[in-house]
């Protein structure tokens, strides 16, 4: 049900009220049956490519963190709730002398894994996307706009790749390097992008981790304000990027753009466009390079975490 006394919509372009006062899907409403059927046609070869970083770096295992993550974020903890050693120590065998092992996983999605941001993740002032009070997000989770709504919908969309690194003749972009609307316009995906598509932007930034983890945790390349407004104006259903925040970041880890150009405020808060961050797009970029193709079928399904501000995801590109 919609909230009583809904707030006035923000000034400038936005999607507040577009899908009704009780909307909790935002731009995922664009994934209508005809749009999904059109997306299925973007799969031509049947080859499947995962766009996710592995979940590693478990503090409980004593193994060094080998996967990109942001400084100061709690690393995933993965350990065995039941393992072979437990059973060898005297645990009774299961019927038929069977053996079993169980996992336990503690994970903070933001900054440590490939994840989808829910519409409740960031806002301006005292109102969430579409007007619910920001107080609806509390220590017990979000009563509105949680990630479980995106999970129920899921994403089957046509993905359109914008390989910004290859566009500039580089393996990866440099720290703090911005991608503007003019850059997007100059890439093959610009002519393909339609309402309900997912824009997938490759900066190559995960490669910086392999060079020097300290460099990865500083300034990062990403979209600038003109680029996020360009994508919002084209009615994308989802934006996927391989950096930590979609937008470019400064050395202090904060956005380099003014608040009105902030990717989360423009896309999540104003337009209800979910974001997938920290993807790994190297294999996808290599697979499409030189083929003349920029589109594919994209499948993304978050976990139905009630009231969650995000969920780890394993996006699949079907070429």
Question: Could you read off the pLDDT of 110-135 as tens digits, one per residue?
Answer: 878 899 999 999 888 889 999 999 88
Residue 99 forms part of a structural domain: no
Query: Is the confidence at residue 2, as pLDDT, over 60?
Result: no
Domain-located, residue 213: yes
Question: What DSSP element (H or E) covers 227?
Answer: helix 225-233
pLDDT, average across residues 10-22: 93
pTM: 0.91
Q: What is the CATH number of the domain that holds 138?
A: 3.50.30.50
Q: Is 188 left (phi over 0), alpha (psi -120 to 50) or beta?
A: alpha
Where is average pLDDT lowest: 49-63, 185-199, 264-278, 292-306? 49-63
Is the pLDDT at 3 greater than 60, yes or no?
no
Q: Which of 264, 20, 26 is nearest to 147 (CA)?
A: 26
Q: For residue 167, is it within any domain?
A: yes
Backbone angles phi, psi at 296, to 5 degrees: -170, 170
What φ, ψ does residue 86 adopt, rounded to 5°?
-60, -45
pLDDT tens string 137-165: 888 888 999 999 999 999 999 999 999 99
- For residue 194, count other CB atoms closer than 10 A to its CB: 15
Give the residue carrying structure tokens 């009563």: 143
Where b means 16+ CB within 10 Å and e means fewer, 245-271 reads bbbbbeeebebbbeeebbbbbbbbbbb
Mean pLDDT for 3-26 is 85
Higher pLDDT, 317 or 6: 317
Which range of residues forms the domain containing residue 50? Answer: 26-54+109-318
Q: Is residue 248 part of a domain?
A: yes
The 10s digit of each residue's pLDDT in 171-217 is: 999 999 999 999 999 999 999 999 999 999 999 999 999 898 888 88
Answer for the pair 241, 280: CB distance below 8 angstroms, yes or no: no
Q: Can you tell me the distance from the alpha carbon of 181 to that of 13, in angstroms, rounded to the nearest whole number? A: 17
Instruction: Tell me whether residue 86 is in a domain.
Output: no
> 48 phi and psi, to 5 degrees?
-110, 130
Residue 298 lies in a domain: yes
179 by DSSP, 3-state: which? Answer: strand
Q: Please, are residues 196 and 316 in contact by the beta-carbon 8 Å criterion?
A: no
Counting the structural domains of the chain, the total is 1
Structural domain includes residue 9? no
What sign does the dihedral 65-310-238-126 (CA atoms) show? negative
Q: Give tens-digit pLDDT for 46-84.
A: 999 999 998 876 555 555 567 888 777 777 777 777 776
Tokens of 185: 């316009």
Residue 69 placed within a domain: no
């Amino acid at each position: 049900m919609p909230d009583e006394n809904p707030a006035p919509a923000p000034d400038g372009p936005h999607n507040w009220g577009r899908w009704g006062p009780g909307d909790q899907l935002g731009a995922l409403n664009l994934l209508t049956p005809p749009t999904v059927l059109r997306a299925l046609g973007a799969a031509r070869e049947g080859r499947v490519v995962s766009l996710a970083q592995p979940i590693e770096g478990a503090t409980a295992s004593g193994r060094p963190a080998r996967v990109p993550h942001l400084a100061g974020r709690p690393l995933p903890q993965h350990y065995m709730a039941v393992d072979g050693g437990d059973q060898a120590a005297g645990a009774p065998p299961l019927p038929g002398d069977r053996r079993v092992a169980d996992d336990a996983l503690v994970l903070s999605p933001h900054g440590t894994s490939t994840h989808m941001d829910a519409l409740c993740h960031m806002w301006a002032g005292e109102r969430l996307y579409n007007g619910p009070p920001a107080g609806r997000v509390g220590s017990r989770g979000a009563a509105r706009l949680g990630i479980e709504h995106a999970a129920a919908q899921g994403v089957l969309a046509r993905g359109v790749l914008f390989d910004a690194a290859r566009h500039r003749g580089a393996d990866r972009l440099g720290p703090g390097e911005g991608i503007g609307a003019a850059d997007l316009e100059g890439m093959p995906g610009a002519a393909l992008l339609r309402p309900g598509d997912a824009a997938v932007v490759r900066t190559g930034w995960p490669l910086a981790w392999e060079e020097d983890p300290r460099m990865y945790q500083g300034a990062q390349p990403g979209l600038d304000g003109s680029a996020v407004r360009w994508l919002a104006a084209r009615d994308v259903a989802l934006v996927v990027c391989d950096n930590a925040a979609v937008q470019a970041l400064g050395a202090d880890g904060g956005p380099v753009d003014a608040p009105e150009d902030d990717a989360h405020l423009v896309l999540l808060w104003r337009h209800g466009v979910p974001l997938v961050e920290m993807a790994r797009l190297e294999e996808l970029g290599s697979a499409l390079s030189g083929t003349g193709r920029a589109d594919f079928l994209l499948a993304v399904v978050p976990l139905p975490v009630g009231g969650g501000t995000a969920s780890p995801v394993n996006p699949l590109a079907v070429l």
